[in-house]
Amino acid sequence: MLAARKNSTMTNNHTNHRTQPSGPPLIQCRRLTKTYKKGDNTITPLQELDLDVPAGDFLALMGPSGSGKTTLLNLIAGIDRPSGGQLIIGGTDISTLSRSKLADWRSVNVGYVFQLYNLVPVLTAYENVELPLLLHSMSAKDRHEKVQTAMQLVGIADRHDHYPRQLSGGQEQRVAIARAIVTDPTIIVGDEPTGDLDQESAQAIMDLMVRLCEDLGKTLIIVTHDAKSAAYAKRTLHLEKGRLVEAELLATRHAPLVPQEA
Ligand code: ADP
Ligand code: MG
């Protein structure tokens, strides 16, 4: 069970990192490339991207619309497959897995949180959270316990029988997070998980994400447009035109045109 958060208010880029285990990073992208062919045109949303994500990291991805953020997230989540390069996660190069093996890998290793929650409207909150467990063989009792635990973790245990339309956006996203963590995956990815929420609900969701990282040791990668949400992560990387932009480059680009006196 979760311990209560040590600090009730988050500070920017919290520094109480877990000690990183030695060994290779959990996620290694090597010259990772994604291309789409449309007639004679080739679109390259990701170009030879190199990225290491250690276990227990909380990474925020930012960048303009169309810069490849969702593409990268979907590759790491095993929803989509790379056109080139390597994507080694937990020692497995998932770019070499067949579609069905990749689906199996995803159901064990990754939880996905979407901007618009993607709950099934005709299922209750409980049934939505239970859904990923139906892919795994387990007793009804085990399944019930896992759903209960996930719903308690995200603070939505009193909404079992509610349908998505009976929940606020913030509550729907909690249900979606419970669904993402119910199989106890190593990696949680979120594509603009606070993009449709008011500021207060967004902060509560980001607080919850921090707990998943700090208390449960999950590795999180979220895409966000919102600097306030990104500030909850341990580090932020920026994508532009399918490439990671170096922090120094960004700093130079955003430097004042007229040098300021010290
Ligand atoms: P972001 O999430 O940063 O807004 P995306 O990763 O969704 O960007 O898209 C990056 C680029 O790839 C865009 O130019 C988009 O139009 C293109 N793209 C994404 N998915 C597809 C697809 N299935 N077919 C063709 N082009 C795509
Ligand atoms: Mg996107």
Whether 148 contacts 140, CB under 8 Å: no
- Listed in sequence order, the residues at least 6 apart from 149 whose beta carbon sits closer than 8 Å to its beta carbon are 1
For residue 15, the model assigns a pLDDT of 41
For residue 150, the model assigns a pLDDT of 97
Cα(69) to centroid of ligand 2, in Å? Answer: 5
For residue 250, the model assigns a pLDDT of 58
Query: Ligand 1 test: best mutation among 36, 75, 238, most atoms within 8 Å of CB?
Result: 36
Of 3.40.50.800, 3.40.50.300, 3.40.50.720, 3.40.50.2300, the CATH number of 24-252 is 3.40.50.300
**Tens digits of residue pLDDT in 122-162:** 999 999 999 999 999 999 999 999 999 999 999 999 999 99
**Tens digits of residue pLDDT in 13-31:** 444 444 445 678 999 999 9
Lining ligand 1 with CB less than 6 A are 36, 43, 45, 63, 65-71
For residue 23, the model assigns a pLDDT of 74
Mean pLDDT of 2-11: 36
Does residue 12 surpass a pLDDT of 90?
no
Cα(35) to centroid of ligand 1, in Å? Answer: 10
SS3 of 237, please? strand
Cα(91) to centroid of ligand 2, in Å? Answer: 27
For residue 14, the model assigns a pLDDT of 43
**Tens digits of residue pLDDT in 207-240:** 999 999 999 999 999 999 999 999 999 999 999 9
- Residue nearest atom 14 of ligand 1, based on CA coordinates: 66
Does residue 8 surpass a pLDDT of 50?
no
The Cα–Cα gap between 117 and 176 comes to 6
Does residue 261 surpass a pLDDT of 60?
no
Model confidence band, residue 86 (pLDDT cutoffs 50, 70, 90):
very high
Question: Amino acid identity, residue 226?
Answer: D
The Cα–Cα gap between 80 and 83 comes to 10
For residue 4, the model assigns a pLDDT of 36
For residue 233, what is the DSSP state?
A: S
For residue 246, the model assigns a pLDDT of 75
Of 53-57, 199-203, 255-259, give the lowest mean pLDDT range. 255-259
For residue 242, the model assigns a pLDDT of 95
- Residue nearest atom 15 of ligand 1, based on CA coordinates: 66
Whether 55 contacts 26, CB under 8 Å: yes
pTM above the 0.95 mark?
Answer: no
- Ligand with an atom nearest the CA of residue 68: 1
Cα(190) to centroid of ligand 1, in Å? Answer: 16
Does residue 10 surpass a pLDDT of 70?
no
Query: Ligand 1 test: best mutation among 43, 62, 225, 243, most atoms within 8 Å of CB?
Result: 43
- Listed in sequence order, the residues at least 6 apart from 1 whose beta carbon sits closer than 8 Å to its beta carbon are 149
What beta strand segments (E) does the chain contain?
A: 27-38, 41-53, 58-62, 84-89, 92-93, 110-113, 187-191, 219-223, 235-240, 243-245
- Residue nearest atom 26 of ligand 1, based on CA coordinates: 36
**Tens digits of residue pLDDT in 48-73:** 999 999 999 999 999 999 999 999 99
Distance from the Cα of residue 90 to its chain's centroid = 16
Angle at 25 between CA 191 and CA 51, to 5 degrees: 55
